[in-house]
With several copies, the nearest count.
Chain A
Amino acid sequence: MAHIFFDHISTTPVDPRVIEAMLPYFGEKYGNPASHIHDLGQTALRSLDAARGSVARMVGAQPGEIVFTSGATEANNLAIKGAAAGSKDRRHIIVSEVEHFSVLNALLPLRASGFETTVLHVDHDGRVDPDDVRKAIRPDTLLVSVMHANAEIGTIQPVSEIGRIARERGVLFHTDATASAGHIPVDVEAIGADLLTLSAHNFYGPKGIGAIYVRKGTRLESMLDGGFQEGGYRAGTENVPGIVGMAAAAEIAMAESVGWADRLAPLGRQLWDGLEASIPLLHFTGHPKERLPGHVSFWVEHAEGESLLLLLNMQGVMAASGSACSSNLRGHDEEDLVASTVLKAIGVPSDICTGSVTFSMGKDNTGADVAHVLSVLPAIVSRLREMSPTWLDYQKQQGG
C-alpha cells in the first residue's frame, strides 16, 4: 500500500543525519553540562555551546539570545507569561485570533490576573492587517504576538510590517515561527522580532526540544525556576541529545531548505490545481500566494472531515483536519470536540466546515505522491457524498 505522509505540519520524521548526530549523546557523551568540571560534562557543555550557535545562525541571532525549551508550547508560554511577569506597568497584550492554543490559552491566567487583551481579526485569507495592529496599540501595550505561519491554513502573516510597527511604538513583538522555521526564511532582524518561537520536530529534528529567541535586553521572567541553566531563563538539566539534534536539523535546513521550498511550491500548486479540477464544491483555505510551500488546505461540502481522513488513511495517505470530530478522540466528552477556531475566523460557514483537510508536504514527498492523492481523493469525496443526506437534497435542489 502507498505510504504518503502529508501531515508534516503536525510533525516531521527526524532526518537520518540528525539521528546520527544525536546518537552519541545518549550512551557515550552522556555528561550533564552542569558537571563541566570533568571530561564528560565538559564535552556536553561544548556541544551545547556549538548547538546554540547553529540554532542562532538559523534565525540570524546571537548564540546568547537562544534559550532552549521543551518545545513550541513552552516557548510560547514563556514568551507570553514571561514577558507579562517581567512587565511593570504595561498590562495589555495584542494577539491574532488564529494563533495556536499555546498562545491563546497562555492568555487565560493573565486575564484572570488583570491583563487586558486585544484579539485581532483576520481577513478571509487568514491574514492580520498590520494597520489593525497599529490601531490596537495603546500606551500600556506590552506585547504583540502574531504568528509567522499558520499550520492549519498555511497563511504567512505580514510579520515584518507588524514588527516594524511594534518597534516604532516601543512594544515587544513575539512571533511563533513553529510552522515556518526550517521551511521558509526566518530572520529575527528582518522580522523585527524580540521573541521568536522555534520547534525542532517541525523541521526534521526531534520532539521534546524547541527554543525561544530572546532579543538581548528583553525583560522576560523565567517560568521554570531551579538551577543555573540557560542564562537564568529556563532551569533544568539541558536535553543535550535533543539540543544537538535540533542544531543538526538547523544546519540541514540552512543548507537545504531553499531547495525544498523550490521543489514543494510547484508540487503544492499541482495538488491545488488537480483538486480544483476534480472535486466540485471544494473551497481552498488560506492565502493563495502567501502560504507555506507544499501546504494545501481546503474544505469540501457534503463530506465530513474525519471520514475523509479515515478513508485517505485506508489509501495510505496521512493528513490532518481542522474538523471538530477528529480534533480530540481522546477527550472525555463531546465538549472536548472543538471545531477549529481558525476556520471560523476566516469565515467558513460553521454548518459545513467540518469537511476540512490540511495536506502538508515535506522534503521527501514527490510528484508521484501528489498524483496518488489526486487519484484517490475524488472517489473518496464522492463515496461520502453518496452516503450523505445533505448531498441528496443538494442534488435534488440543483436538478430543479
Chain B
Amino acid sequence: MAAGPYSEKVMEHFMNPRNVGEIENADGVGEVGNPACGDMMRLYVKVEAGKVSDAKFRTFGCGAAIASSSMLTEMIKGKTIDEARAITNTQVSDALGGLPEVKIHCSVMAEEAVKAALDDYSKKHPG
C-alpha cells in the first residue's frame, strides 16, 4: 500500500469506510463539528432493547475524520447505551493504530458525536 501520513488502519478505514449513509427514522441523530473547522460529522443511531443496533454516518472532513467516524460506528454497534456513551476518543484513536497529534481532535469529534446522538435519542425517548 502507498505510504500515507496515517497508520495502515486509518488508511484502510478511510479507503473503505464502514456504515456510510443515513438511517431513515433514526432513533437518534448527532451532529458535531463545523465545516469551517475542516470537519463535520453526522451520526445516526438505531436503538433496540437498550442497545445500539445500527449506526451510520456522514462526515465532511480529512482522512482522520472519516476513519474515526467509520471506526466509531463499528465500535458502538451492539453496545448498550451506557457502554456507547463511555467510549473515549483515545479508544477510537487506539483502535485506529494512533493518530497524528494534530488530528486527535478528529477522534474527539467522534466521541462527541455518540454523546450527541444518544442525547438526541434520550430527548426523543424520555423515561
Listed in ascending order, the chain A residues whose CB lies under 8 Å from chain B are 36-37, 39, 42-43, 45-46, 302-307, 310, 313-314, 323-326, 328-334, 336-337, 339, 350-352, 354, 384, 386-392
Contact = CB atoms under 8 A, between A and B. Distances in A.
A205 to B, nearest CB: 25
Contacts of A37: 4-5
B31 interface: yes
B102 A332 contact: yes
Given A36-B5, A387-B17, 5 more contacts: A304-B39, A310-B63, A352-B36, A389-B40, A390-B35
Interface of B: 2-5, 11, 14-15, 17, 20, 22, 31, 34-36, 38-42, 58-63, 65-66, 100-105
Contacts of A329: 5, 100, 102-103
Contact of A42 (B3, B17, B38, B62): B3
B23 to A, nearest CB: 13
Given A302-B60, A325-B38, A325-B61, A387 B3 contact: no
B62 A325 contact: yes
20 contacts: A46-B3, A304-B38, A304-B39, A304-B62, A323-B62, A325-B61, A326-B62, A329-B103, A331-B102, A334-B102, A336-B102, A339-B38, A351-B35, A352-B36, A354-B35, A387-B59, A388-B40, A389-B31, A389-B59, A390-B60
A334 B102 CA distance: 5
Contacts of A388: 40, 58-60
Contact of A314 (B2, B34, B60): B2
Nearest to B43: A389
Contacts of A36: 5
Nearest to A349: B36
- The 7 A-B pairs of least Cβ separation, nearest first, read A351-B36, A389-B42, A325-B62, A306-B62, A388-B60, A389-B58, A42-B3
Nearest to A303: B60
A43 B4 CA distance: 9
Contacts of B100: 329-330
A351 B34 contact: yes
A387 B58 contact: yes
B98 to A, nearest CB: 13
A314 B15 contact: yes
A75 B2 CA distance: 35
Contacts of A337: 38, 102
B38 A39 contact: no
Nearest to A41: B5
B62 A333 contact: no
B95 to A, nearest CB: 19
B20 A39 contact: no
Contacts of B4: 37, 39, 42, 310, 313
Contacts of B17: 387
A220 to B, nearest CB: 22
A337 B37 CA distance: 10
A46 B4 CA distance: 11
A370 B4 CA distance: 23
A52 to B, nearest CB: 17
Nearest to B39: A304
A386 B58 CA distance: 8
- Most B C-beta atoms less than 10 A away, residue of A43, A303, A323, A334: A334
B102 to A, nearest CB: 5
A260 to B, nearest CB: 28
A78 to B, nearest CB: 25
